[in-house]
Amino acid sequence: MKKFVQRSYYGGLRESVLEQLSPENRQDYQDGASMLKALGDPQRAMLVDALSCRPLCVYEMQQLVSWSQATLSHHLKTLRENGLVNTKRQGKWIYYSLNEDGISAAKDFVERLTNGSGICLSDYVTPPEEA
């Protein structure tokens, strides 16, 4: 999985809030967003769907798509770099399968973002005073 933090990645997040977040929290946002970005591409989402049934090699996947082998390899590399797929060599073929830990991490990230159990950035704001 890619492990890097870029200050510019946080866009308009105020410096005062960013400074209060631990490096682990910032890394969690980075890793989670990278996984979601990888899954957010329709072509990669289709590959994940295909791999959800069983491991496949590139030869098999090329029967599903009209992309060049280079394009297919690029998408598989992105999924692998983000911890969403595993590879296993069997003879002359490399089989791709879903990395259940990576898929669970992506699900957990979305869950933390949406159920209030995450960092909860709204805790860093002051409500308006009543008039």
> In this predicted model, which residue has the larger pLDDT, 13 or 94?
94
The domains found in the chain, sorted by start residue, are: 22-120 (1.10.10.10)
The set of long-range contacts for 26-32, using a CB threshold of 8 Å and a minimum separation of 24, is: 27/3, 28/109, 28/119, 30/2, 30/4, 30/5, 30/6, 31/1, 31/2, 31/3, 31/105, 31/109, 32/105, 32/106, 32/109, 32/110, 32/113
Taking only the tens place, the pLDDT of each residue in 56-79 is: 999 999 999 999 999 999 999 999
